[in-house]
Amino acid sequence: MKTIFEKNTDTDGITFTDEGIKADFIDRRFLRESSCNLPNIGELEVLRHYNELSDRNFCIEKGFYPLGSCTMKYNPKVNELLASLDGFQNLHPAQSDDDSQGALELMFKLQEALKTITGMDYISLQPAAGAHGELTGMMIVKKYFESKGEIRKKVLVPDSAHGTNPASAALCGFEIVSVKSNEKGQVDIEDLKSHLDSDVAAIMMTNPNTLGIFEEKVLEISNLMHQNGSLLYYDGANFNAIMGYTNPKLMGFDVVHLNLHKTFATPHGGGGPGAGPVGVVESLKEYLPVPVVDYDGAKYFKKYDLKHSIGNVRDFYGSFGVLVKAYAYILMMGENLKEASENAVLNANYLKEKLKKYFTLPYDVPCMHEFVLSGENLKHNTGVSTLNVAKALMDENTHPPTVYFPLIVHEAMMIEPTESETKFRLDEFVNVMIKIYNEANSNPEKIISAPYTTPVKRVDETMAARHPDLKFTE
């Protein structure tokens, strides 16, 4: 057996020398030319190092996370326990249906639960995230019209929409047409009418929208779209606000995606596994990704024979572990899902009323689960921007809310407390925001130079995003 100490021997392009292994088939640009200079330390020091790094992470278990645009509700730990059971964790996705009856039953019953909650007639659990669900939904829309022999090229998107909406539609080859908001922060019906023609395939809407405002004329919009032969796509990002009170089917939507990590308390994943199930009305059932899980009264099975299916959009059947957690949450909550929405809306309105005395509230109406403040007046009067406020929050054990979105609000701060937070925590957040506001007026330089307590202080976000430097330098 050859070792790295045997000189000048060669096996399949690999040369073993005193200095180490040299692989001739690897481009020299990717080969190290000097020692990697790794520290020579014991296991205990390694553990301490990585534990210290992990303590620097901010998470919902450490402090308030009013992110807005992405519901950061608490993820019950019992869901993790259930998803790690041997029968779920060690089940191989390629096993036969006969050997996977328990998992298939869970998936089927999750489909049924989501059908009840959304009002939709059929559900696919395949998509791996919210944006992936959007893409899947728009692929269904495109194929629906193609199967009818219609070539519709346009998709209407409100100007307050999540950025993934136009991106998903564009990836499917659609032309994006922006629809203006009115003085209430809702879709401008007259502007929508001006864009309606035989070329419009669908409208993509979030309800409540990204301002946290319920679209009062959603039924009029759905009637207009259907009269035009168009479809309605529901972005389920804000579904946490309406559970048990209404659903997309009642509003007239044809295609829906849900973010399980937002509404049904599964982890966001940090770029890892997620889930964004898609629901459709009866007329679109044959277009869903395959397989879907079905039940014939005797056993559960994977069904592939959908006439117009867009095909498979994810390996196997989706992120199964995430689906287990969502189903556990739904079973645990039951009818209390409605109460979750109640508390989310109550918490948001409470914060809105407390903070509008200090920061500008561009749409002073009852909100749903989130609301948007503007720091425009603060910036004009003190020079302290919304970004400065966000940085200052990092010194107060609070994650900054989403800032500068939606784009129709200048110096925007989108705040979503979720139902998980107590009144004590909400009051603490209010006091912190008032503290920052007062300091911005009395000593603006202090806020402009924040944060002071984080491992990394001020960075150039634009430069970091456009020109990331990932090289290690000694």
Whose tokens are 């030319």? That residue is: 33
pLDDT of residue 281: 98
Instruction: Tally DSSP H helices, then E strands, for the chain.
Output: 17, 15
Residue 405 has pLDDT above 60, yes or no: yes
Domain 77-335 in this protein, CATH class: alpha beta
pLDDT tens for each residue of 130-188: 999 999 999 999 999 999 999 999 999 999 999 999 999 999 999 999 999 999 999 99
For the sheet containing 14-17, what is the strand order?
9-11, 14-17, 20-23
311: left (phi over 0), alpha (psi -120 to 50) or beta: left
User: What CA–CA distance (Å, rounded) separates 36 from 403?
Assistant: 40
How large is the average pLDDT for residues 374-392?
A: 97
Tokens of residue 311, six digits: 């095909």
Out of 93-107, 214-228, 455-469, pick the least confident: 455-469
Percentage of residues of the chain with pLDDT beyond 90? 81
Residue 204 has pLDDT above 90, yes or no: yes
pLDDT tens for each residue of 414-448: 999 999 999 999 999 999 999 999 999 999 999 99
* CATH 3.40.640.10 residue window(s) in the chain: 77-335
User: What CA–CA distance (Å, rounded) separates 179 from 157?
Assistant: 6
How large is the average pLDDT for residues 190-209?
A: 98
User: What CA–CA distance (Å, rounded) separates 211 from 170?
Assistant: 23
Confidence of residue 460 (pLDDT cuts 50, 70, 90): confident
Confidence of residue 22 (pLDDT cuts 50, 70, 90): low
For the sheet containing 231-236, what is the strand order?
122-124, 278-280, 255-258, 231-236, 200-206, 154-158, 175-179
Q: Which helix (H) or strand (E) holds 13?
A: none
User: What is the SS3 assignment for 283?
Assistant: helix
pLDDT of residue 6: 42
How large is the average pLDDT for residues 77-102?
A: 94
User: What CA–CA distance (Å, rounded) separates 217 from 164?
Assistant: 23
Residue 413 has pLDDT above 80, yes or no: yes
Domain 339-466 in this protein, CATH class: alpha beta
* CATH 3.90.1150.10 residue window(s) in the chain: 339-466
Residue 222 has pLDDT above 90, yes or no: yes
Residue 244 has pLDDT above 80, yes or no: yes
Out of 33-47, 185-199, 357-371, 383-397, pick the least confident: 33-47
CB 283 within 8 A of CB 308: no
pLDDT tens for each residue of 317-349: 889 999 999 999 999 999 999 999 999 999 999
pLDDT of residue 472: 54
User: What CA–CA distance (Å, rounded) separates 474 from 461?
Assistant: 23
Confidence of residue 15 (pLDDT cuts 50, 70, 90): low
pLDDT tens for each residue of 108-121: 999 999 999 999 99
Which residue did the predictor score with more confidence, 439 or 461?
439
User: What CA–CA distance (Å, rounded) separates 129 from 69?
Assistant: 15
Out of 102-106, 180-184, 266-270, pick the least confident: 266-270
Helices (DSSP H) in 99-129: which residue ranges?
Answer: 101-118
pLDDT of residue 8: 47
Q: If 0-12 CB within 10 Å is exposed, 13-18 middle and 19+ buried, where does residue 125 land?
A: buried
